[in-house]
Amino acid sequence: MIKSGIFSMLLMGVIAGSCTQPSVGVNYEVISPYAEKVDSVLKLMTLEEKIGQMNQYTSDLQATGPSRKDSTKLEQIRKGRVGSMLNVKGASNTRRFQEAAMESRLRIPLLFGLDVIHGMRTVYPIPLAEAASFNLKLMERTAAAAAKETASEGIHWTFAPMVDVTRDARWGRVMEGAGEDTWYGSRVAEARVRGFQGKSLADTATVLACAKHFAAYGACIGGRDYNTVDISRLTLHEVYLPPFRAAAEAGVATFMNAFNEVEGVPSTGNTHLVREVLKGDWSFNGFVVSDWNSVGEMVNHGLVPDLKGAAYKGVTAGCDMDMESRAYTSHLEELVKEGTVDEAYIDDAVRRILLKKFELGLFDDPFRYCNEQRQQKTVLSLELRQVAREAGAESIVLLKNDNGVLPLKEPEHIAVVGALTDSKEDMMGSWAIEGVREEAITVLQGIKNRYPNSVIAYADGYDLETNQLDLAGAKRVAAMSDIVIVGVGERAYQSGEARSMAHIDVPDSQQQLVKHLKEMGKKVIVLVMGGRPLIFNELEPYADAILMTWWLGTEAGNSIADVLSGDYNPSGKLPMTFPAAIGQVPIYYNYKNTGRPSQPGFMTYTCGYLDQDFRPAYPFGYGLSYTQFEISDPIPSQKEYKKGETVECRVAVKNTGKCAGKETVQLYIRDLVSSVTRPVKELRGFEQVTLKPGEEKEVVFQLHEKELGFYNGNLEYVVEPGEFELMVGNSSDHLKKTVILYN
């Protein structure tokens, strides 16, 4: 199974004659200028030192999982038994640990990793929110900005992007990804990898990225975090793997195993997934880190009886670095010495890790990222805050705007109600790794900043912890103004890792609050805040306008005020379907037809519910603007195409409203008849067009042959001839279509 290639020969050269090759071992074919250097270091290493490179500890400064206090970590670094640390932050702290590494026999530098999921000290919108911007350049920009700040704190590696496709809003980790669509998630994955890694890893403003969690973590049964995944291999390849592949092809430096099992084998010990698919078929030449203790957790899964068995499974399956389980440091040496594990596996892992350390320039100067002055200059700079503000505004989705109640020009009085609107801590969202709550701009503050001449009255309206209403207080401030802005939703800590929820409704009391305020005859503008799709049917009829404002980070309040005021005309589109009832979950736009297709209403003998329409509250791709757009029928350049030809489809977009705005024109396809059934629609392209009132532009979509294909029953990627529907519009439920023949 070992592919021949100059690099692999170079790498394996030293041991080729002397030891048996592992059956699926080093199989990457990159010609790296560092290959010989990596080998020369490897030659000097003892087995214990090699295993040390495969070991990662958390610092005791912060933990992002269940950690054991261990006062010997610095000592172990000095002995060369640690290759990487996570959760060490700040140029001076990283320097301290690196100095210990420089006291080790071979002076191999440490690699510092951290979960920079949506920013470091400057916090950007949560990734799901940013995905709503449908602006890939913007996502690349925030990733690059986050990388710059991260690297200035001595950190070389972020555990992001999370590229797990997710169709279940109960799962708390939906906030970390790009939502439900595989194709779009793949484009976002590429953009984020480009942003984090820049053009060169040697640049001290970039960091290594990490595609996680490999694989299918988002398919956890019942939306319960860490839960079993049970999907077909077809679904695995069709729905869950493509964003990982896209990240690999974009050059992502590392991968992280997932906690869950796939086909009965935990991902961390899954040879098919990691060695065969990732390192084999995809020729991935970076390294794979386990998730927190996921090597050790294979014992709990019941795959192996003990930690020694876990170490065996992990290393042979292709997990190169053990995060926090200590399985490798405790058992790999013994496993090699007794002949159970071929040392070539160890060498392969260490080569991959050393290669990244060379690419970062750490062998030239292990302290090149630990620069206090650079840190001071970079952290929370105005420039970064500005990026956060823009990203925040572009992430907001306008769900309703009756009678053009928004934007708010210069109102004399504004009432702001809802404890969430004044909660600094919540603005940041989950995984705000270094965000300082005092530095966040709340909604209330943002509104005050934007409307210095208005009289602004505020009331909590409900208790943040208990959700108990203070209706009297809310009504008192509402009475002073015609316009009431009400913030509702979930708390920031309710989404993120281990934050699955069986109920995803906006609390009933908050929904009632909206109703009461509307009954006072006010114009009620509702801001829905949260890290996932929420359900708020009860309040919907009483809201004049609804904005999904997610968690937007440090500049949240300013971004929201930018949209409320029309300084930024909202352009966000939902990257995940918002269900109308929890019983509809999992719900997604690209479902398949059945023999008894779903029908609107409450139909028996069709694929639906007796007590609930099958349709969502808001579909994927939905989002309004303060202006209106007209999108023409799609016009293909030909009615018939020959196999191999690129399909071209034109569509005219016109701004028919009164202000300038940006529309996201979406292209979906459907393969009408195929050997394996296909979804009723699949996103295959989108374009953002900014138009002045009355202005019209043409958008040209190009579909290459491979975008018309799918995995067949033998897991071969095929394009089958026949009819395809092409659909265009500004939301997955609002499309105009045409049919082409592709032969």
Q: Which residues bind ligand BGC (CB under 6 A)?
A: 64-65, 86, 115, 159, 212, 291-292, 497
Strands 523-529 and 545-548: parallel
Q: Which residue is nearest to ligand BGC (CB)?
A: 64
Q: Which is nearer to ligand BGC, 11 or 82 (CB)?
A: 82
Contact 75, 101 (CB under 8 A): no
CA distances from residue 249 to 211, 246, 683 in whole angstroms, order as listed: 11, 5, 20
Shortest CB 298 distance to ligand BGC, Å: 15
Candidates 168, 291, 322, 422; catalytic one: 291
Shortest CB 151 distance to ligand BGC, Å: 18
CA angle 219, 216, 717 (to 5 degrees): 115
Helix (H, G, I), strand (E, B) or coil at 555: coil
Shortest CB 499 distance to ligand BGC, Å: 12
Q: Which is nearer to ligand BGC, 65 or 566 (CB)?
A: 65
CA angle 642, 644, 649 (to 5 degrees): 75
Shortest CB 325 distance to ligand BGC, Å: 12
Question: Edge to edge, what strands does the sheet with 661-671 contain?
Answer: 640-641, 734-742, 722-731, 661-671, 682-691
Could you count the other beta carbons within 10 Å of the beta carbon of residue 73? Answer: 18
Q: Which is nearer to ligand BGC, 158 or 730 (CB)?
A: 158
Shortest CB 197 distance to ligand BGC, Å: 17
Q: Which is nearer to ligand BGC, 430 or 577 (CB)?
A: 430
Q: Which is nearer to ligand BGC, 435 or 608 (CB)?
A: 435
Q: Measuring CA to CA, which residue among 490, 503, 492 is closest to residue 585?
A: 503
Is 544 an active-site residue? no
Shortest CB 66 distance to ligand BGC, Å: 9
Shortest CB 212 distance to ligand BGC, Å: 6
Contact 63, 91 (CB under 8 A): no
Helix (H, G, I), strand (E, B) or coil at 631: strand
Q: Measuring CA to CA, which residue among 226, 306, 212 is closest to residue 266?
A: 226
Shortest CB 323 distance to ligand BGC, Å: 7
Give Cα 292 distance to the centre of its chain.
18
Strands 647-655 and 635-636: antiparallel
Q: Which is nearer to ligand BGC, 21 or 228 (CB)?
A: 228
Contact 269, 236 (CB under 8 A): no
Q: Which is nearer to ligand BGC, 159 or 742 (CB)?
A: 159
Q: Which is nearer to ligand BGC, 159 or 710 (CB)?
A: 159
Helix axes 242-249, 182-197, angle to 10 degrees: 30
CA distances from residue 244 to 24, 213, 254, 541 in whole angstroms, order as listed: 21, 9, 11, 41
Instruction: Tell me, letter by letter, the H, E, C secondary structure of 123-144.
Output: ECCCHHHHHCCCCHHHHHHHHH
Q: Which is nearer to ligand BGC, 34 or 259 (CB)?
A: 259
Shortest CB 576 distance to ligand BGC, Å: 19
Following CA atoms 182, 185, 191, 192 in sequence, which dihedral angle do they give, to the nearest 10 degrees? Answer: -130
In terms of Cβ atoms closer than 10 Å to its own Cβ (0-12, 13-18, 19+), residue 392 is buried
Q: Measuring CA to CA, which residue among 309, 290, 526, 264 is closest to residue 406?
A: 526
φ, ψ of residue 145 to 5 degrees: the values are -65, -40
CA distance 210 to 705: 30
CA distance 722 to 405: 47
**Residues that are catalytic:** 291
